[in-house]
Amino acid sequence: MASGTGSLLESLLRRSDAPDAAYRVAAIVVDRDCRAADISRESGIQLIDCRVAAYPDRAAWDADLAARVGAAEPEWVVTAGFMKILGPAFLSRFGGRVVNSHPALLPSFPGAHGVADALAHGVKVTGATVHLVDDGVDTGPILAQEVVAIRVDDTEDSLHERIKSVERILLADVVTDLVTKGVVIDGRKAIIP
């Protein structure tokens, strides 16, 4: 599921093209016109284009999104720069099987502006977090994290680009681990055995 330039999606697809790939991408979900939709058309992978504006309200969007994604029968759902909060219908169907990549070291700097917020706060390190999605904003159990140092001359763009190069590898690694080994949840702790 993606809304942006889709570079994390491309990384997931590259990994799924490898001869020893552990997973395949069943469908690509977008909520707007974006590069991720083009990637779907170029790759021939089913596109699920599901926009809030096409529904009477958010709940109707959420329910139909759950139904359409469910029809693709995914084992795991990955949000890779999907700029919408998933609602109760979606999470009750896929809860515990939705993975998100966030461009900061959670629980610091959750939300849509994680890179800018870390920069504005003046922290010296930030990074990437891959976590399970729950009904909060970037609050689910953490699966993996990696640190990225902040440079004095960093802009939001330069920092985000360095974080994204980490996210691309980390997310594909975690998805590979999840499909091959699963995950054990113990309270807040997520352990990939």
List binders of ligand GRF among 5-34 (CB under 6 A).
5-9
Cβ nearer to ligand GRF, comparing 4 with 87:
4
Task: Name which of residues 62 to 81 contact ligand GRF (CB under 6 A).
Answer: 80-81
Q: Which stretch binds ligand GRF (CB under 6 A): 41-49, 61-69, 99-107, 145-153?
A: 99-107
Q: Can residue 140 be called a binding residue for ligand GRF (CB under 6 A)? A: no
DSSP assignments along 48-111, one per residue: EE--GGGSSSHHHHHHHHHHHHHHT--S-EEESS--S---HHHHHHHTTSEEEEESS-TTSS-S
Q: How many residues bind ligand GRF (CB under 6 A)?
A: 14
Instruction: Write the DSSP symbol of residue 153.
Output: T
**178 vs 55: CA distance, rounded Å:** 33
176 lies in the site for ligand GRF, by CB under 6 A: no
Cis? peptide before 107, omega within 30° of 0:
yes
Q: Among this protein's residues, is 160 annotated catalytic?
A: no
Site map (CB under 6 A) of ligand GRF, residues 151-170, x = contact = -------------x--x---
For 19, counting Cβ atoms within 10 Å of its Cβ (0-12 exposed, 13-18 middle, 19+ buried), the class is exposed
127 binds ligand GRF (CB under 6 A): no
Residue whose Cβ sits closest to ligand GRF: 81
Round to whole Å and give the CA distance between 129 and 167: 8
Residue ranges in contact with ligand GRF by CB under 6 A: 2, 4-9, 80-81, 101-103, 164, 167
